[in-house]
Structure 1
């Protein structure tokens, strides 16, 4: 456990991607089985310990420290696991003998995995008493499943590829047929066994990604070289039907089929398609695509109610075919794959799959006009695909381009701030901002969005200082900052689109808001008004 704790501690303090890769690769090379397999499961989000939940840990620490004091500590530290790890050492009973040897990672995982919900917290308490502060922090991160250390599942799999001298796509294609602690995978990576044979039906296949279109690429975009289609504002999915086994994956390989049973039921083809998951409204037997905010009603759920399935039916807008009737066609040119996709989708009778239409155009200038005035608000730009391109995992330069619309921007006023997580836990980095709205009681600021990225590290330090020096109220971990006509901080906020929202006082919700720049030069009274956003909504309608 000490080695795993040291790994997490170093990863969270290491900004460089290559340095993180080396840390991971070195750990997997030096750590024996099954510890490294359980570490891999934790880092990729595949470790499930249902016997312990965050609420149980709060109850556990409440037995050792006054709840008000813990609340103040949590507000200051900003991270639940780190707070408990620190106060646990302060409140522990004085040791009457030598500290017992710290348990191994596999011993912890196997013990907690075999525990009931009533036993789990006590087992965790026992392990906490055996570990130092860093070990306690790592244990709590492990059991709650929220590592937040700046390491993605893809990066972890890349470290495995580096360990064994293989391509990361080989790891991806094996992944869904493997289970922790991955003994057969590591035996192959160590050169001690043959490559595992995945017996999983309907496996995930690594996706092909597009590069942003630069101005210098425009002369290359001609109708005979590139196909054009709309870029839909949903989520990228891969739908696979393989001899009765049906799966729905995100672009990172996460299986989200449980949240979309209607899509799986309607997957009446034999093959694997790449497309956009959209949600909408039934118009007779046809589903018309709705906004991203409607899709969000069904995302991040382990299960979904029948009522929600009816009110927010989901479907796939397909734009590529990877497997057709059991034949892997990724090595064929896009023109051929598109023809195969059209024939495959035509066999579907469930009306849960439709085709992303190709856009006729004469030249790049004509495409530019279409990009600036798409026929529907759910379109966020264009996709350009070379007719002769094979389906190549990763983000190769040239075969596919994405040409998104220019983002919208507004000037908004910072209203509330909250500490971040992980390496940002010491900074106020999550910001709620608002615009002016006139009402019966005069003009006031109403929140319209929340952003936690877009700024540089130097700008983060500047905003953090402003928050600390201009706090006017506290609500748990949230600080209210001064936001008056002549006092406050104006943020230029960029966003991809707007949706109407009954959950927000302003009546609007932003799509992908981020801080574009700090407007220290502008007084809050000159920030935008709600009418600016309502005009954008009306144009979209």
Structure 2
């Protein structure tokens, strides 16, 4: 029923622990019938498509039924569109609530011209808790603290199967996953993955810690540069070519130029980068011009060409290589790369070091600005999906830091919807007395719950203006909140007034002790950017 699905969503939002979320999903899968539980799973992992209804339509309908100002203030306070409309929609609704699968099927068959009538009819006949579930289905933004992988882990626990089995089957399954649930409950056979060019669950690394240095023999490990791109699998089998993200999402549509060059029978594991190998590698900001797009123009493909820097081979010519040691997989990869288009595929350099001190010098001063650090891989190990401890380590460079001033704050979502938890910060454009503050980034993590409460109180006590859900905070040379921001890199940006964009900014610590006049300047960041670009050109 819709009420059961709504209860699941509500409890997932307010259950912080990972194990608690797993149990909630497993209990729901055990109690809900087919195909309701399959549609619930599809909604949670983001595989449910309801094209006829968009958030803008929901906002419009709410403002028609309610006082527009009251609705906007309510939305500002709650911070979640589905929750706001479900609570404020007039009327109590009836008790004759359609099932989850009946609701989904009706929504999916609704045209754009009928969307408003259908959604109003459903909202009018549902109580608040069912409205919440309905609107979460429609908007597609669950924001319940559950990733697709966590949902798959809940499935594995529910059916007493391995997570790897679930992931290997995933791309051959269809919503509402009836065959999958029959197998998990012992009522049917294991589904066959007839999908050509399937995704293989990836092998992950651990961050290198001081204690690991005592157990790792450098003579047994291959060392590679850790490039700042995105992890991908380039898979081509039976004439079907697909490009997958590290989580198994098919991202082929954003990279048709690369997919067209995948003329092989293999599954390559590597890093997707912008540039023209071997010498030119663009920044992550360049790569972002290609990410999260269903289609890309010819101009974008020309301006931001992509390639894969390969470091592993999982399958070749119909043979599964994952049980072979890394050194044999690399040998096969060497031979394959020689046959491929060199503008689209090259191979990650393998290095050896005689001491940790030598590695530390290399890690701190890499030959290219787009290098994040080093990877260490035991050449004798198989390709083990998941995150086994020992075979692979990552040793990233220390992040950059800057002291910035809090400028704006916005409420978060989910359990943070009552707190100002999304922060925009800036640095001085010139001397603090004469210059103003210009925004250089946004961050919404890196602080503790106690620090969140302190910042939230500071924002409320020092608000000087409002812009819809955003509060402007007092920020002068004498008064303001200084925050130390850690980030992975910088790039030029025409979208930001400052002219720069930060890579992975996060709040490192709160500088209650530091006056805003002593925060950093744009000149400091531009000098750092010049160093990065000079290193990149070199």
TM-score of the superposition, structure 1-length normalised?
0.96
Equivalent residues of 2:432, 2:477 under 8 A apart: no
Post-superposition offset of 1:441? 9.8
Name the residue aligned to 1:291.
Answer: 283
2:4 matched to which residue of 1?
3
> Distance in 1 between the 2:141 and 2:116 partners?
17
CA distance in 2, matches of 1:406, 1:223: 21
Which deviations, in whole Å up to 9, do the C-alpha atoms of 1:190-229 show, x marking residues without a partner? 1011111111001111101000000111234444211000
Residue 318 (1) aligns with residue 310 (2) = yes
For structure 1, list consecutive stretches of 5 or more residues without a partner in the other structure. Answer: none
Map Cα deviations across residues 21-73 of structure 1 (whole Å, 9 max, x no partner): 00000100111000000001001111000011111111211210232322222
2:469 aligned partner: 477
In structure 2, how many angstroms separate the alpha carbons of the residues matched to 1:445 and 1:359? 44
Q: CA deviation at 1:254?
A: 0.6
- The 5-angstrom pairing of residues 108-119 of structure 1 reads 108-119=103-114
Partners of 1:169 and 1:536 in 2: how far apart?
Answer: 43
| 1: CA distance, partners of 2:384 / 2:38 | 29
Do the aligned partners of 2:169 and 2:192 also contact (CA within 8 Å) in 1?
Answer: yes
- 3-state SS, counterpart of residue 62 of structure 1: helix
Q: Secondary structure at the match of 2:382?
A: coil
Q: Indicate whether 1:395 and 2:387 are aligned.
A: yes
Q: Does 2:435 match 1:443?
A: yes
Match of 1:179 in 2: 174
Deviations 1:236-285 (A, max 9, x none): 111100111011111111111001101101112211011111112x58xx
The answer to whether residue 36 in structure 2 is matched with residue 35 in structure 1 is yes
Indicate the residue corresponding to 1:533 in structure 2: 525
CA drift of 1:349 comes to 2.7
Between the two proteins, the alignment pairs up a number of residues equal to 532
CA contact (8 A) 1:206 1:393 kept: yes
- The answer to whether 1:348 aligns with 2:340 is yes
1:410 maps to which residue?
402
Say if 1:241 and 1:270, in contact at 8 Å, map to a contact too: yes
Paired position in structure 2 for 1:193: 188
Aligned to 2:478: 486
Please report how far the alpha carbon of residue 350 of structure 1 lies from its aligned counterpart in structure 2 after TM superposition. 5.9
Partner residue, 1:57: 58
Distance 1:219 1:431, change over 3 A: same
Taking a change above 3 Å as real, the CA distance of residues 10 and 371 of structure 1, as seen in their structure-2 partners, is: same
Q: What is the alpha-carbon distance in structure 2 between the residues aligned to residue 352 and residue 30 of structure 1?
A: 49
1:92-132 deviations in Å (ceiling 9; x for gaps)? 3x87xxx2411110010011111111122321221112222
Asked whether the 8 Å contact 2:311–2:347 carries over to 1, the reply is: yes
The reply to whether residue 22 of structure 1 matches residue 17 of structure 2 is no
Confirm or deny: 8 A CA contact 1:491 1:516 kept in the other structure.
yes
Work out the CA distance in 2 between the residues paired with 1:316 and 1:131: 50
* Contact map agreement 2:233 2:267 (CA 8 A) in 1: yes
Contact 1:499 1:537 in 2 (8 A): yes
| Map of 1:126 onto structure 2 | 121
Structure 2 counterpart of 1:232, from 219, 227, 230 = 227
Would you say the 8 A contact 1:279–1:295 is kept in 2?
A: yes
Question: 1:53, 1:439 → 2: CA distance?
Answer: 46
For the 8 Å contact 1:222–1:364, the answer to whether it is kept is: no
SS where residue 492 of structure 1 aligns?
strand
Q: Distance in 2 between matches of 1:449 and 1:52?
A: 32
Secondary structure of 1:499's match? strand
How many Å separate the matches in 1 of 2:116 and 2:310? Answer: 46
How far is the alpha carbon of 1:351 from its aligned partner?
2.5
Q: Within the alignment, does 1:206 sit opposite 2:201 as a pair?
A: yes
CA distance in 1 between partners of 2:104 and 2:121 (Å): 13
CA contact (8 A) 2:408 2:473 kept: yes
Match of 2:136 among 137, 141, 146: 141
- SS at 2:301 equivalent: helix
Question: Is the Cα–Cα contact under 8 Å of residues 233 and 268 in structure 2 kept in the other structure?
Answer: yes
Give the distance between the partners of 2:338 and 2:143, measured in 1 at CA.
43
Match of 2:446 among 433, 440, 454: 454
Alpha-carbon deviation of 1:287? Answer: 7.3
Q: Does residue 254 of structure 1 match 2:246?
A: no
Q: Distance between the aligned counterparts of 2:399 and 2:152, measured in 1?
A: 33
What is the aligned partner in structure 2 of residue 151 from structure 1? 146
2:360 to 339, 343, 368: 368
Distance 2:341 2:17 in 1: 49
Give the one of 158, 165, 173 matched to 1:170.
165
Match of 1:513 in 2: 505
Equivalent position SS for 2:441: strand
Q: Deviations over 1:476-529 (max 9, x none)?
A: 111100011111111011111111122212121110000011111111111111
> Is 1:428 the counterpart of 2:429 in the alignment?
no
Aligned to 2:326: 334
Unaligned 5+ segments in structure 2 are 534-538
1: distance between equivalents of 2:432 and 2:459? 30
TM-score, with length taken from structure 2: 0.97
CA distance in 2, matches of 1:263, 1:317: 12
Question: Aligned partners of 1:222 and 1:190: how far apart in 2?
Answer: 45
Following the alignment from structure 2 to structure 1, what is the Cα–Cα distance between the partners of residues 305 and 387? 31
Are the equivalent residues in 2 in contact too, given 1:472–1:481 (CA < 8 A)?
Answer: yes
